């Protein structure tokens, strides 16, 4: 049988019509030249190839139509599974609806819980440009500034406030009070004077989310450098408790039972022993998805970190489970003990 030139996305590919007749074809390929109303559009090859193609098309239309149906089905499955794989934090809807109601959510929770990622998901859901800013040591990090030659240097907050978008101000409890006053005035008044002399009225599609590790009442044992937020500023915020989420953790760990068992048991043991250490999604991701590092290296680098041999041994004896990661924990204890003896 004659080879026929058909177009597959960005390239032209010659396929043997007998392969199609035998069913040895890619349905996505065949679907490129069969549409819903059976209208045919020839692609390349000249009049002779076109005639042959018409002949083939008529002879094997049922097969081609079946291929098209299979292609549609496969694409629906592909898009459906991709949608299912999107994992949202348990507080996603709360944050999304707060934005829709023109509130200013303040996400309060431990480090490494995925606050920034969830805010990106919210922005995408709302069809908004996403901007973010971490802790600032000067108000100009928010408002922008005029450089030595008189040019105004725009910052993310200026762009979002003027043009619309979702602005995340992360680690606000680590930022200077002057920066927080800028945000407070912007939220309160809906207008702001920027260092370039431009008075900007808040865009109708501007929204702000704030995030921190404390409730803004001052330092804690875990976060001992955090600042106290002004009472009037706190009053404007919509507080959202944002903690670790089991669905997210299972997704990060690819439902690996050994990984999840160790991760949960390690964190629970730290709490039981009163050991102040953050065990976040970052450590879980390292444990689940690093394939080159040894288990011992991962445990020491992402979990025990600065802990001494005696503390590591305490964790080991109280962890209450046994798998390869617990065995690696014991090896880390032995290594650290030996290193401490040689110091």
Q: For residue range 199-228, what is the model confidence (pLDDT) as tens digits?
A: 999 999 999 999 999 998 988 878 888 888
Which of 9-23, 176-190, 264-278 has the least mean pLDDT?
9-23
Look at residue 73 in the predicted model and tell me its pLDDT. 64
Return the percentage of the chain with pLDDT > 90, whole number.
64
- The yes-or-no verdict on residue 32 having pLDDT over 60 is no
pLDDT score, position 154: 96
pLDDT of 126: 97
CB-CB neighbours of 27 under 10 Å: 18
Give the Cα separation of 112 and 89 in Å (integer): 13
Output the average pLDDT for the chain: 83
pLDDT of residue 168: 97
pLDDT value of position 316: 97
Classify residue 52 as exposed, middle or buried by CB count within 10 Å of its CB (0-12, 13-18, 19+): middle
CA atoms within 13 A on the CB side of 166: 27
- Residue 22 reports pLDDT greater than 60: no
Note whether 94 and 227 are within 8 A (CB).
no
Per-residue pLDDT for 330 more than 80? Answer: yes
State residue 63's pLDDT score: 60
pLDDT of residue 90: 96
pTM above 0.85, yes or no: no
Is the pLDDT score of 95 beyond 80? Answer: yes
- List the single range of 12-21, 116-125, 183-192, 325-334 with lowest mean pLDDT: 12-21
- Given pLDDT bands bounded at 50, 70 and 90, which one contains residue 7? very low
- Does the structure show a pLDDT above 90 at 192? yes
Distance in angstroms (rounded) separating the CA atoms of residues 285 and 238: 30
pLDDT score recorded for residue 25: 47
What is the pLDDT averaged over residues 294-311?
96
pLDDT cut 70: percent of the chain above it: 75
pLDDT at 230: 87
What pLDDT is stored for residue 261 in this prediction? 97
Contact of 175 with 135, CB cutoff 8 Å: yes
Residue 40, exposed/middle/buried by CB under 10 A (0-12, 13-18, 19+)?
A: middle
The 3-class SS string of the chain reads CCEEEEEECCEEEEEEHHHHHHCCCCHHHHHHHCCCCCCCCCCCCHHHHHHHHHHHHHHCHHHHHHHHHHHHHHHHHHHHHHHHCCCCCCCHHHHHHHHHCCCCEEEECCCCCCHHHHHHHHHHHHCCCEEEECCCCCCHHHHCEECCCCCEECCHHHHHHHHCEEEEECCHHHCCHHHHHHHHHHHHHCEEECCCCCEEECCCCEEEEEEECCCCECCCCCCCCCCECCHHHHHCCEEEECCCCHHHHHHHCCCCHHHHHHHHHHHHHHHHHCCCCCCCHHHHHHHHHCCCCCHHHHHHHHHHCCCCHHHHHHHHHHCCCCCHHHHHHHHHHHHHHHHHHHC
């Amino acid at each position: 049988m004659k080879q026929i030139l058909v177009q597959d996305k960005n390239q032209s590919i010659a396929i043997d019509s007998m392969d199609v007749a035998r069913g040895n074809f890619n349905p996505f390929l065949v679907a490129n030249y069969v549409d819903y109303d059976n209208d045919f559009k020839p692609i390349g090859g000249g009049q002779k190839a076109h005639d042959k193609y018409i002949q083939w098309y008529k002879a094997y239309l049922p097969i081609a139509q079946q291929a098209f149906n299979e292609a549609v089905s496969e694409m629906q499955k592909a898009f459906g599974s991709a949608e299912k794989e999107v994992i949202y934090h348990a507080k996603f809807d709360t944050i999304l609806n707060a934005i829709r109601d023109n509130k200013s959510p303040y996400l309060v929770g431990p480090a490494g819980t995925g606050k920034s990622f969830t805010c990106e998901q919210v922005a995408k859901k709302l069809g908004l440009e996403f901007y973010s800013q971490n802790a600032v040591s000067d108000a100009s990090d928010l408002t922008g500034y005029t450089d030595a030659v008189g040019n105004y240097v725009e910052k993310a907050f200026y762009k979002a406030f003027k043009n619309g978008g979702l602005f995340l101000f992360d680690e606000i409890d680590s930022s200077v009070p002057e920066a927080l006053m800028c945000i407070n005035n912007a939220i309160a008044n809906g207008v702001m004077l920027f260092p370039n002399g431009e008075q900007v009225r808040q865009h109708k599609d501007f929204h702000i989310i704030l995030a921190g590790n404390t409730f803004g009442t001052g330092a804690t044992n875990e976060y001992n450098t955090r600042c106290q937020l002004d009472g009037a500023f706190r009053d404007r915020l919509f507080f959202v408790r944002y903690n670790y989420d089991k669905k997210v953790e299972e997704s990060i760990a690819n439902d690996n039972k050994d990984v999840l068992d160790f991760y949960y048991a390690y964190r629970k043991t730290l709490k039981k022993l009163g050991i102040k250490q953050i065990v976040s999604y970052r450590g879980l991701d390292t444990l689940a998805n690093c394939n080159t590092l040894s288990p011992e290296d991962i445990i020491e680098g992402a979990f025990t970190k600065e802990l001494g041999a005696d503390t590591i041994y305490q964790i080991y004896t109280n962890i209450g489970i046994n798998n390869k990661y617990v065995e690696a924990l014991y090896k880390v204890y032995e290594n650290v003990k030996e290193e401490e003896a040689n110091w």
